[in-house]
Structure 1
Amino acid sequence: MGPDNTRHSTTTTPADTTTTDTTHLVHNKNGLRKFIETSTAVVVDSNCKVIGRDVSHLKLTKFNKIGGHSIIYKYDKYIIKEIMEEHLMYEKIMANYPQLSQYLPLYLGTVKLQLNHEVKDYIVLEDLTNELSQPFVVDLKMGTRQYGIHSPPEKVKSQKLKCKNSTSLSLGIRLCGLQIINKKGNFELYDKYYGRQLNATGFLNNLVRFLNNKSRYTLLIKCLKVVEHLKSISSMIESLDYFRLYGSSILIIYDNMDDFNVIIKLIDFSKSFFYSEQEFGNLNLEATKDYGYLKGIFNLIESFKVIFNAASGMVIENDNERVLMETIERNKHDYMDSWNKKLEFPTFRYQYDDLTSD
């Protein structure tokens, strides 16, 4: 595995702008009434024939994402991305697993988008950073397998190699993108190529960089909140069967101006699926659970626990996050110093440690 300090990043100021494409946004026949009512749109039928108001062009801005490779557009407080079957996962989770829906971005449905005279189907999601003035963002690619069940052989080979040569196979997780704000007030962006070069220790210390925007106090509170959310997500996913979350990510976000409002969402489901028992049985997959994903979320939780222990001298155990939070709040004056310590990734065993996603 590569060194933990290799850098593949760009630096911008929060005021930087992005390229704007002029497009028509056209509404599909199933409806996104709320979205259409707040946008400048052309309503069309299933044959893309205009049947509604003929209005001016809608401005879409290419979204400055930190991970992945598909093009994402931003309009107002929404992001718009090509469907790639991802909408099926959102609809299935919302319909059948409502407890998990709270950890998804708000899904508004699908639209047709005409760009460069070509009409395609897109999904519309909330922009999770829309209300944030200075967002810190980390995109974490989850699981030990990143290719889908219908991926071509060359893609399978390529993805297996990427997992083997990164922390995906060893930890079940790798850094896919990171956005922080440095001491000069500029955004620093680290992409998926940077993340692939990190070893376990480098991965851990980039989580420290993500959390460490101000004092040790803010770092510790965010750590506890992240662990609490991740444990909830882990418990929900471990209770489910007949699914795979291949290629999906966990996105963690907070605002530099409001450290304690930590947002955690599951995203990028183009290769993922939830099936019925019968449908799953036709796939020739042995395990009903995605053990590679579970391995990753365990290691992610442990990583934040390690950071918390190193920065506080206290241990997260037996669901004591709330007690620890109260302790830190009571003694917050003891934690107002800055903290920037290099950590080593520890060795620990997990019940799914020897398993990967089939």
Structure 2
Amino acid sequence: MLKVPDHQVAGHHARDGKLGPLIDDSGRFYKPLQGDERGSKEVAFYTSFSSNARIPDHIRRFFPIFYGTQLLEASDGSGLYPHLVLQDVVSGHHNPCIIDVKIGSRTWYLQASEDYIQRSLKKDRETTSLSLGFRISGLQIYDSEESGFWRPEKKRVLGFTADDVRVVLRKFVSSNSPTDSDSEPDCSFASAVYGGSTGILAQLLELKAWFEDQTIFHFFSCSILMMYDKEAIFKGMSSGAEIKLIDFAHVVEGEGVIDHNFLGGLCSLIKMISEILTSPDENPNKTCLQDYEKNHSYLENGTTE
């Protein structure tokens, strides 16, 4: 039995008669192929990635498992439609806290159409993509059984400033309510989620080490999903913190060149999370951001400024 995902925080939703992804109870995620070349490009990426012997096993775990493609009844009622069949990466989590982070100061690639480049460039400039090297595309933070999830609207998320992003990354690992604007996020779960040998920071650093060497692919407009179970922490269990890379409709061949655009954004995200771990009680400040940008000019590589 196919159903609409409960924990999708970004992208096209299969609601109100619209075409969007579906899931089943066996842990699979069915993503409709985009009608233009993006659909075929994403299938080509998954096919290439799955069979490429140069991808280390410890890196493969950061990507959804690919099960091929399948014709399914579309969520919009339009009939049979081709879908990517992937691992449902949140299926093992109960009431998961999730942040979708689109990586890269530049989300467009040279081979794209001029219209796509201009639309992407506009969004990169209007969000934190240019200033931080990444932007938050969507999120949900579990509050309580009574309140459910805090899910800010898409327009609000895309309007996040650099300071907003810092606050959200702190709210993500706090025990106090994410809707409480009268108190600072306490970051009480930072060490359990971001820290430790298996936490999100360690996973991001492992991914960074690969991106410092890999020249197979360039990942434009891809996202890192960060997720964990807050309720598990309350019960004294492991947070289940993990990251997954998703959305590969704009991946291009690396042609022997390091993907500095993705690497730069990844480094920026790592730095921001590291600061939360080392100074959980400090308020966000703009001076830190300015100093970081001066020393990391690669965040602006590839722009037309």
TM-score, scaled relative to structure 2: 0.78
Task: Report how many residues are paired.
Answer: 262
Opposite residue 75 of structure 1, the aligned amino acid is D
| TM-aligned CA deviation for residue 175 of structure 1 | 0.5
Please give the alpha-carbon distance, in whole angstroms, between the structure 2 residues aligned to 1:110 and 1:173.
30
CA RMSD of aligned residues (A): 2.3
Within-5 A mapping of 1:1-358: 59-64=1-6, 65-69=8-12, 71-76=20-25, 77-83=27-33, 84=39, 85-96=41-52, 97-99=55-57, 100-115=59-74, 116=77, 118-183=79-144, 184-213=146-175, 216-224=187-195, 225-259=199-233, 260-274=239-253, 288-311=257-280, 342-345=283-286, 346=288, 347-348=291-292, 349-350=295-296, 352-356=298-302
Name structure 2 gaps, 5 residues minimum.
14-19, 34-38, 177-185, 234-238
Equivalent residue letter for 1:298:
C
- Distance in 2, matches of 1:213 and 1:357, equals 39
Give the letter aligned to residue 344 of structure 1: N
Q: Following the alignment from structure 1 to structure 2, what is the Cα–Cα distance between the partners of residues 87 and 306?
A: 37
Q: Percent identity?
A: 23
- 1:279-301 deviation digits (Å, cap 9, x = unpaired): xxxxxxxxx22222111100100
Deviation at 1:213, TM superposition (A): 3.3
The answer (yes or no) to whether the contact 2:174–2:188 under 8 Å persists in 1 is no
For 1:108 and 1:191, locate their aligned partners in 2 and report how far apart those are by CA, in whole Å.
32
1:342 deviates by 3.5
d(CA) in 2 for partners of 1:249, 1:186: 25
Contact in 2 for aligned 1:247/1:269 (Cα 8 Å): yes
Task: Say if 2:190 and 2:276, in contact at 8 Å, map to a contact too.
Answer: no
Q: Which runs of 5+ in 1 are unaligned?
A: 1-58, 278-287, 312-338
Q: TM-score, normalised by structure 1?
A: 0.67
1:76-131 deviation digits (Å, cap 9, x = unpaired) = 22110023131222232232213421111222221112333533321111222222
In terms of Rg, which structure is larger? 1
Shift of 1:136: 0.3
